[in-house]
Amino acid sequence: MAATSSSAAPFLSSSSSLSSPSSARRLLPLPVRRVSPSLRRRIPAVRAKIREIFMPALSSTMTEGKIVSWVKAEGDRLSKGESVVVVESDKADMDVETFYDGILAAIVVPEGETAPVGAPIGLLAESEDEVPLAKAQAQSQSQAQSHFSPPSPPPPPPSDPAPSPAPMAGAKAEAESPRKAVSTPYAKKLAKQHKVDIEKVVGTGPYGRITPADVEAAAGIQPKKPIAPAPTSAPAATPVTPSPAPSAATSPATKASAAPLPPIPGSTVVPFTAMQAAVSRNMVESLSVPTFRVGYPVMTDALDALYEKIKSKGVTMTVLLAKAAAMALAQHPVVNATCKDGKSFSYNSSINIAVAVAIDGGLITPVLQDADKLDIYLLSQRWKELVSKARSKQLSPKEYNSGTFTLSNLGMFGVDRFDAILPPGQGAIMAVGASKPSVVADRDGFFAVKNKMLVNVTADHQIIYGADLAAFLQTFSKIVENPECLTV
């Protein structure tokens, strides 16, 4: 309102002409004031006829009004006496109608927002020629008044300035192209709301139709969690494997409910990178899986000896452990399985060991495919390639999301044991601690100092039970303690 100096009052004369005092909605003439754009902005206007629609004072106590709904949309033609907008005052909702014929060129205050009495809420152009001008004016206005209508959506993408009919819900635009894309009612509404040109959206729904999700994707919005899930089919979302791709498929539901804590002074907020967002998403999603953990001590003297022997050939401890895990998994296929729908086991045909790797500002899990079949030297070579690809962020999706079992090793930091979170889509993850010399008593009561490593496996109890995991760990321990088989 600061931008326009004229007083609002004179334009609101006939608001009291209706009979019943308690009527909920009255038709009010839409207050408009003539704007000469050449005065306001230095646009060389040729007597362009643009009128401002401003917030009417619907009662003597009203200081501001909320736009309940725009009855008309941008680009709609208005004729005198038609209602254009519904305004909620402190007393009631009222239809506000226009005095003038014209085109609703621009909506300055969108639905749901509030504007002070007298502030411009829209622009009325007398003819189509003035529409672009009015739009330009609206943009400058919405910037000027952003101090009272805070989060007004970003200005519409530079759509063609010609008054092309916005994609309307009604049966307006048809027969333009022989085969126009089909879009659902809600998709159309969203497109209008987010000012997305629906013609340019690619439909991915049934029969190639444009769905609300397509429009949201085009508008760059995180799709909301569907509120009424189709219940007959299994509700569980298909597990999303760790993926640094920025477009999310599901959003964490639980996150939003926590009330934000007051910020600590001096803190900085750094938004997630795509990879960090993917990690966050997967971690939150993992909360829906009922997991449990089983720990096991493994003596590594033999393995350490083997490692010393073959490390010159490029074999790392990580690869040795991955190979050992893969061989153990071959004997315990259930630990390599996945529970996809909460109803069944999905046995994986190959054993692909994902190994968690910390890279600059992130975490990724390159996958050693068929780790049980490839020999240790090939596997080591493969691992080297994967790590360098991971560092340069060149892994292909298959190279980081095809894992069936994950290995996470923090032993090199001296960590003696830790607890890993099961990534969605897998049945189990193994957390490996450091191998340390420890005093152990053997069966006959003799003490000895041996290298002992604690491994801790987290598994999905929907499919993997305690005994399964214990048996698997026993096998794993035997392989590590008799590591000759790793090299054959």
Partner 1 sequence: MQASLSLSLSLPPAAPRSDPAPTVFRPSALRFCGLRREALGLRPLRPAGSTWVFPSPARTPSRKTVAAVSGNGSPSKGFDYDLVIIGAGVGGHGAALHAVEKGLKTAIIEGDIVGGTCVNRGCVPSKALLAVSGRMRELQNEHHLKALGLQVSSPGYDRQGVADHANNLASKIRNNLTNSLKALGVDILTGVGTIAGTQKVKYGKVGFPDTEITAKDIIIATGSVPFVPNGIEVDGKTVFTSDHALKLEWVPEWIAIVGSGYIGLEFSDVYSALGSEVTFVEALDQLMPGFDPEIGKLAQRVLINPRKIDYHTGVFAKKITPAKDGKPVLIELIDAKTKEPKDTLEVDAALIATGRAPFTKGLGLENINIVTQRGFVPVNERMQVIDASGNLIPHLYCIGDANGKMMLAHAASAQGISVVEQIGGRDNVLNHLSIPAACFTHPEISMVGMTEPQAREKAQQEGFEVSVAKTSFKANTKALAENEGEGLAKLIYRPDTGEILGVHILGMHAADLIHEASNAIALGTRVQDIKFAVHAHPTLSEVLDELFKSAKVNTGVSPSSVNEPVTV
Assigned token pair, 190: 């969203």
Q: Which of 147, 194, 332, 461 is catalytic?
A: 461
CB 451 within 8 A of CB 300: yes
Q: Least separation, in Å, of the C-beta of 171 and partner 1?
A: 4
Nearer to partner 1, 153 or 161 (CB): 153
**Dihedral angle computed from the Cα positions of residues 150, 152, 158 and 162, in that order, rounded to the nearest 10 degrees:** -120
431: left (phi over 0), alpha (psi -120 to 50) or beta: beta
Please, what is the minimum distance in Å from the beta carbon of residue 185 to partner 1? 4
Looking at the DSSP bridge assignments, the partners of residue 171 are none
Cβ closest to partner 1, residue 147 vs residue 343: 343
- By beta-carbon proximity to partner 1, the closer residue of 22 and 349 is 22
In the bound complex, what is the minimum distance in angstroms from residue 231's beta carbon to partner 1? 5
Residues that bind partner 1 (CB under 8 A): 19-25, 68-69, 86, 92-93, 169-171, 174, 182, 184-186, 188-189, 205-207, 209, 212, 225-232, 235, 253, 257
Nearer to partner 1, 82 or 481 (CB): 82
Q: How far is the CB of 227 from partner 1 (least distance, A)?
A: 5
Q: Which is nearer to partner 1, 63 or 254 (CB)?
A: 254
Nearest distance, CB of residue 169 and partner 1, angstroms? 4
Q: How far is the CB of 23 from partner 1 (least distance, A)?
A: 4
Nearest approach in angstroms of CB 41 to partner 1 is 34
> Which CB, 157 or 235, lies closer to partner 1?
235
The single residue listed with the structure tokens 């041996």 is 450
Residues 6+ away with beta carbon under 8 Å from 122: 52, 53, 70, 84, 85, 104, 105, 106, 107, 108, 109, 138
User: Is 332 an active-site residue?
Assistant: no
The residue among 87 and 334 lying less far from partner 1, judged by its C-beta, is: 87
CB of 11 vs partner 1, minimal distance in Å? 25
- C-alpha neighbours within 13 Å on the C-beta side of residue 397: 7
**Which C-beta is closer to partner 1: that of 9 or that of 236?**
236
Which residues are tagged catalytic?
Answer: 461
